Structure 1
Amino acid sequence: MKTLLLLLLALATPTWAAAPADNAADWYYPAWLAEAPHAPVFQVRDTVNKYGRYASEPKVITLKDLIKFHGHFCGGLVEGATALRVAFDRLFPGEMIDRTDLIIASNNSACGGDVAAYLTGARARFGSHLIDPKLKESDFVVKRLSTGRAVRVVINAATYPHDVRSQMKKIESGKFEPADIDRFQDLQWAYAKKLVSRPAIESVDVTVNPDYAWPEPPCKDLGKRKDNEFKNVSEAH
């Protein structure tokens, strides 16, 4: 069913449709997640190559791609993708997500931070992925540079996984039994199933143009990213 939905999504946008993504279940990507009706899918726009123009077609990114990048499937990964799905719907309504046109602030969560970097194209070393310890694990501020519009998205109070966080703290304390590791996985999977069983907006609070003080870049000035600067150059004649 999910593969069919991905195909229909591509067919519904013929002017910039991408080929269906690899969304087949695998040992690290359970079938229930691959077939989930509301697992977030992202169509992103990049450049063709270094110093290249915009690509004419998008890439399709699924949770499977995020798992490959991050290293494992977890509740935090699905949580971050769910929150950012809502952010992109506000910043790019009816459009591809332009990964050359974004800046993001996130917590230093391993899971949420990886999702933020992969989906936005932002990088800490170039000052476009900012780390803010005041933000929660499920809390992101995203800005579209070309329009100046920003949104803040966070998992809402009714959805926030208190049981997952409590179990995580127990494990991090060092005072746990082997069974606690298995319980933590079960809790994360139950949380992920909840998120992908309904539209993302039902799990997320969103604030447009929030009153937010952007933090300083986490890295020293290592130079500006330049490989996307020529994306709007006209075609040669």
Structure 2
Amino acid sequence: MKAVSQSPGDTCIGAGDTDLADVVRFHAHMCPGLAIGYRAARIIMERLGSFRAEDEELVAIVENDSCSVDAVQWITGCTFGKGNFVFRDYGKQVFTVALRPSGRALRVALKRREFRIGEPPHEDREARIQWLLTAPEDLLFHVEEIHLTLPDVAQIRDSSVCDRCGEESMVTRVVHAGPRTLCIPCSKLADQQ
């Protein structure tokens, strides 16, 4: 990834700094979904004037689990492992990124197909990818600054052993069924019996 060092430890993502090839390498192929996520994430980062997250300075909230979210992860630096990447299973091409220090957040939603004038059909994959990468932003997305309550910063939690399978789970994810402590999968099995 191309980056501009602003101060020790900072990686700036701005116009021209992120190489699409790096995003493609991370995802392993180029596709329309990756192009959508790439454009959305670039718009957000440029408008927020933000730096790629090294820790939890940014929080990304994605509303789908498609190829697009890989581009959002790569460009923003938000990941599940750092606790600043939130998945909401709504099936929508909607991406929100917030700056934790200021609370400022941008939400980018892909416009309905009938508003994306000039978009090639799904069958013409290469032309569609190119169009998604180059079309004017206002044809592709609805962009708005929003207010949202940010999730707490990630915390390391103790583990508890499941009385059924013997595997450890975070204490915040176990189910207490009478005197037994169960992991979520085992509690679902117990409910079925």
Q: Give the TM-score category using the shorter length.
A: 0.5 to 0.7
Note if 1:207 corresponds to 2:144: yes
Note if 1:156 corresponds to 2:117: no
- Separation (CA, whole Å) in 1 of partners of 2:138 and 2:59: 21
Partner residue in 2 for 1:134: 90
2:67 aligned counterpart, secondary structure: helix
Higher relative contact order (CA 8 A, sep 6+): 1
Structure 1 gaps of 5+ residues are 1-19, 22-42, 48-52, 165-182, 224-237
- 1:144-194, Cα deviation, whole Å (9 max, x unpaired): 112110010011221297964xxxxxxxxxxxxxxxxxx4xx3x3232221
Report percent identity of matched pairs. Answer: 23
Q: Residue 57 of structure 1: CA displacement?
A: 7.5
Structure 2 gaps of 5+ residues are 158-193
2:71 aligned counterpart, secondary structure: helix
- TM-score scaled by length of structure 2: 0.62
Matches within 5 A, 1:154-233: 154-157=109-112, 158-159=115-116, 164=122, 183=123, 186=124, 188-210=125-147, 222=156
Partner residue in 1 for 2:70: 114
Contact 2:65–2:89 under 8 Å retained in 1 = no
- 1:55-111, Cα deviation, whole Å (9 max, x unpaired): 48879321111000001000001111111222122211xxx5342321101134241
Aligned CA distance change for structure 1 residues 57 and 140 (closer, same or farther; 3 Å): closer
More strand by share: 2
- TM-score scaled by length of structure 1: 0.52
Taking only aligned residues, the RMSD between alpha carbons, in angstroms, comes to 3.5
Aligned CA distance change for structure 1 residues 107 and 58 (closer, same or farther; 3 Å): closer
Note if 1:71 corresponds to 2:28: yes
- Separation (CA, whole Å) in 2 of partners of 1:58 and 1:89: 7
- Select the structure of larger CA radius of gyration: 2
1:102 corresponds to which letter in structure 2? L
More helix by share: 1
Partner residue in 2 for 1:4: none
- Separation (CA, whole Å) in 2 of partners of 1:119 and 1:62: 9
- Separation (CA, whole Å) in 2 of partners of 1:141 and 1:57: 19
1:207 aligned counterpart, secondary structure: strand
Contact 1:103–1:122 under 8 Å retained in 2 = yes
Partner residue in 2 for 1:61: 18
Report the count of equivalent residues.
Answer: 150
- Separation (CA, whole Å) in 1 of partners of 2:129 and 2:9: 34
